[in-house]
Copies of this chain bind each other. A is one copy, B any other.
């Protein structure tokens, strides 16, 4: 005994310790938008390899505390914006005067097996798909694919320009009196296409929200929305019982011991 004699129960990895140190520094000594020293200097200052330092920064970026911009530097991130996902706030029926969504394109095609299952229809049935981007303060925070079976929209006018068709689909949906919805949220990463729409590199973490809309007991739409996980906090429920909860996301909520 004594060869590796240590009292340290589980020697914390360097990068994790570094993360903690940096997190404290961020909380106490820096403010939003401020740039950190560059990675080469930080790694030297802490006496670790650059890769190790980067591992710590990766964590903090995942937590939404840092933003790294190629060619610029590493900045302190602004607190995440709360994005309401109520049906009303979402501006979904009510497209008219809500600038929060920008339509990208609209396609009509037979449903894939996967999509058919999600919509509860037969594979190959015709489905309209509207792709939209959600904007908050001018920045893209989410991209959504809204799938609507053609069968659910009996009165859709014939051929039109793409942008017109998108509007038609949304308006028809609005008239359908959606009376129920079922949502799920999980973690994902942005594929190339999504990433481009969200102005992020491929592989960026996203919150994938899948919503089934029902009308008169039947599914009438399936929406798959990917929200930037770095900048977004999804908010549900009766809008704002009390103002946004600023309780630390990751940091534990502690009462004095």
Give the interface of A toward B (CB within 8 A). Answer: 12, 16, 19, 51, 59, 62-64, 80, 82, 107, 109-112, 114-115, 117-118, 120, 127, 129, 145, 147, 180-191, 193-194, 202-203, 205-208, 210, 212, 214, 219, 222, 224, 229-230, 232-242, 244-257
Contacts and interface: CB of A to CB of B under 8 A. Distances in A.
Contact of A237 (B19, B182, B190, B191): B182
A252 B187 contact: no
Contacts of A252: 145, 191, 193-194, 224
Given A64-B186, A114-B253, A180-B238, 14 more contacts: A63-B187, A82-B184, A118-B246, A147-B253, A147-B255, A181-B241, A184-B235, A184-B244, A187-B207, A188-B249, A194-B252, A206-B250, A207-B207, A222-B253
A104 to B, nearest CB: 13
A250 B120 contact: no
Task: Determine how many copies of this chain the complex contains.
Answer: 2
Given A145-B252, A189-B59, A189-B62, A183 B127 contact: no
B186 A239 contact: no
A255 B112 contact: yes
A64 B118 CA distance: 20
B232 A80 contact: no
Nearest to A107: B255
A28 to B, nearest CB: 15
B250 A191 contact: yes
B255 A180 contact: no
A205 B63 CA distance: 9
B191 A145 contact: no
A253 B241 contact: no
Contacts of A112: 253-256
A31 B180 CA distance: 35
Contact of A208 (B59, B181, B191, B250): B250
Contact of A187 (B109, B114, B229): B229
A176 to B, nearest CB: 14
